[in-house]
């Protein structure tokens, strides 16, 4: 005769894995949710553009040699210049700040840049007392010239020089010609200075 074995399963095991909500409907045990922040920051911080570096370059006439008034090119520290009835003066009779200056002959004569400068804000030079002059500027590589008229002049009798200063407002590349008119006497020019921002387009080769 066979024996009947009864197996009792506890009721609480049947309820494992589910629970009831308030309505008696079984619900699943969901893992807790977390809130994630957006890793992409859409806020942009204004960036100031890099300001062009300023420059101040002075041609002193101390490099280069020109001993005669006949028209010719001369290579100076800033580049090539054209001298007509002008030379590089280094004598005791020349007015000089340093060791040399440009000497203009009697009557009509001039010195001309044969290169351009960019980003220029101010152009200045020293000239000997009583020397008349005109300053011409070109924005097309020396094809045409116009006279500058906004000169600011300062003088120092102890050095024998005045300083002529011009504010430059054009954004174009420019070059200059310094002219002594027909009624001029012999005089000297020194320390031609270019002040501006960015790349001037040349460097001083002293």
Is residue 95 a contact partner of residue 187, using CB atoms and an 8 Å limit? Answer: yes
In order of their start, the domains of the chain are: 54-197 (2.60.120.260)
**Interior CA angle at 78 toward 205 and 162, to 5°?**
125
Check: CB of residue 104 under 8 Å from CB of residue 86. yes
What span, in angstroms and rounded, lies between the C-alpha atoms of 179 and 183? 11
Mean pLDDT of the chain: 83
How many other CB atoms are found less than 10 A from the CB of residue 34?
Answer: 5
Distance CA 89, CA 96 (A): 8
pLDDT at 206: 80
Can you tell me the mean pLDDT for 130-152? Answer: 93
What does the pLDDT look like over 94-110, one tens digit per residue?
999 999 999 999 999 99
pLDDT digits (tens, 9 = 90+) for 26-60: 455 555 544 455 555 555 555 566 888 999 999 99
CA angle 82, 77, 166 (to 5 degrees): 70
Q: Which residue has the tokens 């009509």?
A: 108
Nearest to 125 by CA among 191, 194, 204: 191
For residue 17, give the H/E element and its range: none
Average pLDDT over residues 173-199: 94
Per the CB < 8 A criterion, the answer to whether 76 and 153 are in contact is: no
pLDDT for residue 48: 62
- The fraction of the chain above a pLDDT of 70, given in percent, is 75
Q: Is the pLDDT at 204 greater than 90, yes or no?
A: yes
Q: Do strands 187-197 and 101-104 pair parallel, antiparallel, or not at all (unpaired)?
A: antiparallel
The verdict on pTM exceeding 0.85 is no
Alpha-carbon span 81 to 175, nearest angstrom = 10
pLDDT of residue 14: 39
- Taking the CA atoms of 28, 31, 34 and 36 in sequence, report the sign of the dihedral they define: negative
């Amino acid at each position: 005769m066979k024996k009947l074995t009864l197996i009792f399963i506890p009721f609480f095991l049947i309820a494992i894995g589910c629970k009831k909500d308030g309505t008696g409907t079984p619900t699943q045990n969901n893992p807790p949710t977390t809130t994630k922040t957006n890793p992409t920051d859409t806020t942009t911080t204004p960036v100031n553009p890099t300001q062009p570096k300023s420059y101040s370059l002075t041609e002193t006439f101390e490099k280069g040699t020109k001993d005669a008034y006949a028209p010719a090119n001369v290579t100076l520290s800033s580049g090539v210049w054209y001298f007509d009835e002008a030379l590089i003066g280094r004598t005791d009779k020349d007015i000089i700040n340093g060791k040399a200056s440009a000497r203009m002959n009697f009557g009509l004569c001039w010195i001309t840049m044969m290169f351009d400068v960019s980003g220029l804000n101010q152009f200045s030079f020293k000239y000997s007392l009583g020397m008349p002059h005109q300053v011409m500027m070109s924005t097309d590589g020396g094809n045409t010239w116009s006279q500058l008229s906004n000169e600011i002049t300062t003088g120092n009798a102890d050095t024998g020089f005045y300083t002529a200063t011009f504010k430059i407002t054009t954004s174009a590349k420019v070059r200059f010609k310094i002219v002594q008119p027909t009624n001029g006497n012999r005089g000297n020019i020194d320390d031609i200075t270019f002040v501006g921002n960015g790349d001037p387009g040349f460097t001083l080769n002293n």
